[in-house]
Amino acid sequence: MDAETPQVEDTKDMELSLPEAFLLLATNDADGDPEVPAYILRTTLAGAILAELEVVGAVGLQGKHVGATGAALQTDFEHQLELIRHKSRPHTPKRWVSMLEGRAEVQRVYEGMASRGIVDHVGEKHLGVFTTVRYPEKDHAPEAAIRQKVQAALGLKPSVATPPETEAPEVEPADSKPTDARTEALIALLEAAGLLDRMFPEADRDLPRSLAKDYWPARAVADELRMIRMAEAEAMT
């Protein structure tokens, strides 16, 4: 990043949005490449946007469809909220995931974290033109805080391994306070994306499976991913 990029003085107490938290965990810290195929990254990010709007009280499930609550809220995903507010006919969560997913939104969320000094923007040129952009981790504190919250919710002991010169934020034991809705939503999304068992293989599977099944944004992600895989399988036959 160049010298003019805005920096955050202390990111240890920074609360990330669900799309930011998901992308941070789904990206390799060292090389900045996604840990999952692009279609999983885009689809789950769309679900994370719905989850973020739901957590802040902007949208909710109204019967089988997603609807705006009417609450006046400030969000980084105002564009998506306005789409939901003004759509002429209601749509199911799965349909919204399909409509909201896209490469441009993934890049926008990455760039937002780059502007805050959480990840780095690394562009690779071919014939003088940027063809590939990666986002390796620059500040480990936000991800360390997220991981410890997830570990606590899963009943795991916090990991003590952190990069050099990084101070991992302290998290209370798992049984000292109830899991917050944002952490539960993130666990459900990670499970739907197939990332949770890779990140925390020692965790009991019952809680994440239950959350992914019962939480409508995560369920929509799983349904959309299933349809994509079925379509790809049919195309190969």
Task: Determine the Cα–Cα distance for residues 58 and 38; give it in Å rounded to an integer.
Answer: 28
The 3 state secondary structure assigned to the chain is CCCCCCCCCCCCCCCCCHHHHHHHHCECCCCCCECCCHHHHHHHHHHHHHHHHHHCCCEEEECCEEEECCCCCCCCCHHHHHHHHHCCCCECHHHHHHHHCCHHHHHHHHHHHHHCCCECCEEEEECCEEEEEECCECCCHHHHHHHHHHHHHCCCCCCCCCCCCCCCCCCCCHHHCCCCHHHHHHHHHHHHCCCHHHHCCCCCCHHHHHHHHHCHHHHHHHHHHHHHHHHHHHHHC
pLDDT at 72: 79
State residue 15's pLDDT score: 82
Residue owning tokens 């441009």: 104
Task: Return the closest-CA partner of residue 13 out of 149, 177, 151, 141.
Answer: 141
- The pLDDT of residue 174 is 40
Q: What is the chain's mean pLDDT, rounded?
A: 87
pLDDT at 221 over 90: yes
Does the pLDDT of residue 114 top 90, yes or no?
A: yes
**Residue 127: what pLDDT?**
60
Question: Pairing relation of β-strands 65-68 and 129-134?
Answer: unpaired
Beta-bridged to residue 91, according to DSSP, are 66
* pTM summary value: 0.85
- Residue 217: phi and psi, rounded to 5, are -65, -40
| Span 22-44, pLDDT tens digits | 999 999 999 999 999 999 999 99
> Length of the chain in residues, anyone?
237
CA–CA gap between residue 133 and residue 143 (Å, rounded): 20
Give residue 71's pLDDT: 85
* pLDDT value at residue 177: 46
Q: Which fold has domain 18-232?
A: yeast vps74-n-term truncation variant fold (1.10.3630)
**pLDDT of the residue at 10:** 52
Paired tokens of 139: 């500040």
Question: Please, which pLDDT band fits residue 70 given cuts at 50, 70 and 90?
Answer: confident
pLDDT, tens only, 122-175: 987 666 565 688 999 999 999 999 999 999 999 997 765 445 444 544 444 444
CA proximity to 49, closest of 237, 234, 226, 221: 221
State the pLDDT at residue 125: 62
Of the candidates 21, 27, 49, the one whose C-alpha atom is nearest the C-alpha of residue 218 is 49
Residue 190 pLDDT > 80, yes or no?
A: yes
pLDDT higher at 208 or 13: 208
Q: Break the chain into its structural domains and give their ranges.
A: 18-232
- Given a cut of 90, whether residue 99 has pLDDT beyond it is yes
Q: Tokens for 30?
A: 């060292």
237 or 62, which is more confident: 62
More reliable by pLDDT, 12 or 135:
135
